[in-house]
Amino acid sequence: MAKGNINVSVENIFPLIKKFLYSDHEIFLRELISNATDATLKLKHLTSIGEAKTEYGNPIIEVKIDKEGKKLHIIDQGLGMTAEEVEKYINQVAFSGAEEFLDKYKDSAKDSGIIGHFGLGFYSAFMVADKVEIITKSFKDEPAAHWICDGSPEFTLEEADKTERGTEIILHISEGEEEFLEDSKIRELLVKYNKFMPIPIKFGTKTETLPKPEDAKEDDPAPTKEVDNIINNPNPAWTKQPTELEEDDYKNFYRELYPMQFEEPLFNIHLNVDYPFNLTGILYFPKLSNDMQIQKDKIQLYQNQVFVTDNVEGIVPEFLTMLRGVIDSPDIPLNVSRSYLQADGAVKKISSYITRKVADKLKSLFNSNREDFEAKWNDIKIVIEYGMLSEEKFFEKAEAFALYPTVDGKYYTYDELYNAIKAKQTDKDDKLIILYASNQDEQHSYIEAAKDKGYEVLLLDSPIVSHLMQKLEGSKENISFARVDADHIDKLIQKEENTISKLDEDQQKQLDELLKEVIPSEKFMVQLEAMDSNATPFMITQPEFMRRMKEMQQTGGGGMFGMGNMPEMYNLIVNTNHNLISDILNTETKEDKERLINQSLDLARLSQGLLKGKELSDFIKRSYDMIK
Ligand code: ADP
Ligand code: MG
C-alpha cells in the first residue's frame, strides 16, 4: 500500500475548488460522466489502431444510487488506470490526461471526441462528497488499484481485486448534499447534461412490453422484460452529415430537443465547419409572434456532445438568439468568464460564421421557393429585420431576400419595390416616398386614398420596423418612408401642380378665425388646404417624424430625448374646396356653425379611432338630434 501527498503547490486546494472553481455543484456529475466517456473513447481509439489488444465490445456507463450507504457510483468499461497512472493523472491536480492523450495521438485522435482538457474536472467530485474512491482496472495486464481520498490532500492507494476492465468512482455524499441521492434529481441532471453524449448511459432499469406469443389467449397479459434504462441518444442528428438526414429527421430531432414544443419549426440550418474552427449544429427558425415574447426554449451549447449552457450570449449574434437548436464546438473556451468569451477571437469568428450561414440559407430558401418564403415571411421577419438593424454584414446580405409586403399581399424585395414605384411616387424634389400602413383596418380610408392615386402601400407592422425605416433612409439615396395617415396624400407626395382654392382671401380668414374659436389649439394644429373637392373635408393626421420618434422610443433607443412624454399633437387638415366648408360659412347662426364644425371634427376623430368616452357619447347624442 502506498501513501503520499497530492502534488499541488497550494497547501489545501479542496476548499478552493469547493468554493470558487464551479459556481454550480451539480456539474460534478457532468464532469465524472465526461471522464467515463473519455476513458471509453480512448479505449475505442486504442483498439482501433491496434494499440490495445482487448475486445472493445459495447461498453456502457452506469450511474447507481446507494441510498442507504449514501453513495453514488459512476461505473465505466473504459480503458481504466494502473496504480502508476492513478498517481500520475489523479494526484496531479490540473494535469489533464485528456490533453496528454490528444497530444500523443495528435494525428489519429483529433476527431475522437475527447472532452476533458483542464485537468480539474475530477476534483469537482469534492463539491458534493467528503470522501471519494476510485476502483480501477486497466486494460493492460496489471492489478486493479483502489484510491481513497477524504478531501484532505492525503490519499491512500492500494491494490484491489476488481477483474473487469474499467473504472468505478464512488462518491460518499456529504451532509447537506443529499439531494444527489434522489432518483429524480440524478435523472434530471442526466437529461440536462448527458442527453446526447456518445456512450450509452444506464440509470436503473425499465419494464419493456414484449409481443404476445402466437398461441397466447385473448386476455393473457403481454409478457414483459426488465431492460437497461438508457437515458441518452448517443447519435444526435447534429453529429451526422446533412446528406444523411431527411426533412423528417430534422423535425424529429427538434421534438427530441424540445419535447414540450408542439409547433413545428419553419425550417432549419445545418451548421458544419471544421476550418478554421470546429463547429457543428442545427438551428431552427421557430414561429415567432410579433410581441417578441420571452422564449424559454433557447439555443443549447454543447462541447463534444456534453451540454454546457443555454446562455449563448456572445457566441451567437444577438438577433439569432431568437432561434432554437444546438451548437456544438470543442473550440469554444467554455470554463472561462463571459466577458473573456466576448473578446475571444475564435468566438468572434464563430459568431460571424453563423451570421453568414444563416444569411446564405435564407437566400437559398428564397431563391428555391419564393412562394413558400413569402408565406413564412410573417413568422421570420422579426429575426431578419432585427438582424438587418444590428449586423451590418447581415444588412447587406439581406438585400437579396428581405421582403416588403403590400396591403394587397404582394411581396417586393427592395429593388423590385424601387422599380415598381419610382415613376409614380417620386415627389417634386426628386425624393422617392415609400408609403406604408401599420394597420389595415385602422388606416383604411388613408390606404384607399393612396391607392386611388395609383400608389403602392406597404404593410409594415413589426415592432422594430420604425428603426429599420430609419436605417434604410440613412443608407439609400433620397428616399423617405411615410405612413399613409401622416398627412393628406397630396402633401405626402407633393407634385408640382396646385389646386386652386374656391375660397377667396376674405373667406379663408373668416374660416380660420371661426375654426380657431371652436377647435382646441392644444390638441390640433389647423391647416387649411385647397384640395380636390371630393377629398374628405376634415382629416386628422399625425406627422411622420413625431409618431416614429415615439414608436422608436417605445422599442428602445433611437428617439429624441423626452419625446415619449410629449402630449399627443395632431394636424387637422381642412379641405377648403369641399362643399361642406362653404355650407359652414354660409350658415346663419354662430351656434349652427359651431355645431357643424364640432360634428365634423368628431367624424374626423372617429375615423382615426380617437373618439372615446364622454366625447363619443356626446357625439352620438348630437347625431341623433340632427337626424330627428
Ligand atoms: P481532464 O478530464 O480535463 O483531463 P480530469 O480532472 O477530469 O481532467 O481527469 C484527470 C485525468 O484522470 C483524466 O485525464 C484521465 O486521465 C484520468 N481519469 C479520470 N477519470 C477516469 C476514468 N473514469 N477512467 C480512466 N481515467 C480517468
Ligand atoms: Mg475530465
Q: Which amino acid is at 574?
A: V
3-class SS string, 343-388 = HCHHHHHHHHHHHHHHHHHHHHHHHHCHHHHHHHHHHHHHHHHHHH
- Specify the range with the lowest mean pLDDT, choosing from 175-179, 219-223, 237-241, 617-621: 219-223
In a domain, 216, yes or no: no
pLDDT at 75 over 80: yes
**455 and 558, same domain (yes or no):** no
- Predicted confidence (pLDDT) at residue 227 exceeds the cutoff of 90: yes
CATH number, domain at 477? 3.40.50.11260
- Tell me what pLDDT residue 61 has: 98
The Å distance, Cα 238 to ligand 1 centre, comes to 26
Domain final position from 162, 186, 204: 204
Domain that holds residue 121: 2-204
Residues with CB under 5 A from ligand 2 (ion): 35, 116, 121
CATH label of the domain that carries residue 284: 3.30.230.80
Closest ligand 1 atom number to CA of residue 120: 6
β-strand 279-285 against 324-328: which pairing, if any? antiparallel
Q: Do residues 305 and 291 make contact, with C-beta atoms less than 8 angstroms apart?
A: no
**Contacts for 161 with CB less than 8 Å, ≥ 6 apart:** 144
Is the torsion defined by CA of 20, 22, 23, 24 positive or negative? negative
The answer to whether residues 10 and 135 belong to one domain is: yes
Binned at pLDDT 50, 70 and 90, residue 550 comes out as: confident
Comparing CA positions, the residue from 146, 197, 166 lying closest to residue 42 is 166
**53 and 165: one domain?**
yes
Residue 78: CB within 6 Å of ligand 1? yes
Residue 210: inside a domain, yes or no?
no
User: Is the shortest distance between the CB of 96 and ligand 1 below 6 Å?
Assistant: yes
Residue 227 alpha carbon to ligand 2 centre in Å: 29
Please indicate, yes or no, whether residues 460 and 407 belong to a single structural domain of this protein. yes
Kindly state whether residues 411 and 358 are assigned to the same domain. Answer: no
Residues 366 and 244 in one domain: yes
Could you tell me if residue 220 is inside a domain? no
Q: Are 485 and 516 members of one domain?
A: no
Q: Which residue has the higher pLDDT, 246 or 1?
A: 246
Region 340-357 average pLDDT? 78
Q: Whose CA is nearest to atom 12 of ligand 1?
A: 89
Please tell me the predicted confidence (pLDDT) of residue 333.
65
366 and 292 in a common domain:
yes
Among 492, 525, 548, identify where a domain stops. 492
Each residue's pLDDT tens digit, 204-216: 999 998 888 888 8
**Ligand 1 near 132 CB (within 6 A):** no
Statement to judge: residues 244 and 270 lie in one domain:
yes
**Does the beta carbon of 95 lie inside 6 Å of ligand 1?**
no
Q: What is the pLDDT of residues 498-517, one digit of tens each?
A: 678 888 889 989 999 999 99
Each residue of 2-56: pLDDT tens digit? 777 665 544 455 666 665 555 678 889 999 999 999 999 999 999 999 998 889 9
The answer to the question of residue 93 being in a domain is: yes
Whether residues 369 and 453 fall in one domain: no
Q: Give CA–CA dist 302/125, Å, rounded.
A: 21
Please state which of the ranges 64-73, 284-293, 295-304, 537-546 shows the lowest mean pLDDT.
284-293
Say if residue 332 is in the same domain as residue 308: yes
Count other C-beta atoms under 10 Å from residue 414's C-beta. Answer: 17
Q: Does 26 fall in a domain? A: yes
Residue 574 falls within a domain, yes or no?
yes
**pLDDT tier at 530 (50, 70, 90 boundaries)?**
confident
Percent of the chain surpassing pLDDT 90: 54
Peptide bond into 276 cis (omega under 30): yes
Per-residue confidence band for 558, with pLDDT thresholds at 50, 70 and 90:
very low
Q: 428: number of CA atoms within 13 Å, CB side?
A: 8
Ligand 2 centroid, distance to 178 Cα (angstroms): 23
- Region 252-262: mean pLDDT is 90
**Are 348 and 424 contained in the same domain?**
no
Tell me, yes or no, whether 500 lies in a domain: no
Indicate the number of domains in the chain. 4
Which grid coordinates belong to 454? 395609383
pTM: 0.79
User: CATH number for the domain including 52?
Assistant: 3.30.565.10
Residue nearest atom 8 in ligand 1 by C-alpha distance: 119
Domain boundary among the residues 204, 220, 250 is at 204
CATH no. for residue 512?
Answer: 1.20.120.790
Whether 212 maps to a domain, the answer reads no
> What pLDDT was estimated at residue 360?
94
| Residue 9 pLDDT | 46
Q: How many CB atoms lie within 10 A of CB 528?
A: 17
Decide: 581 and 537 in contact? Cβ < 8 Å. yes
Q: pLDDT tens digits, residue range 482-503?
A: 999 998 888 899 887 667 888 8
DSSP labels for 284-344? Answer: EE----TT-PPPSS-EEEEETTEEEES--BTTB-GGGGGSEEEEE-TTS-TTS-HHHHHH-
Collapse the DSSP code of 61 into the 3-class scheme (helix H, G, I; strand E, B; otherwise coil) and give the result.
strand
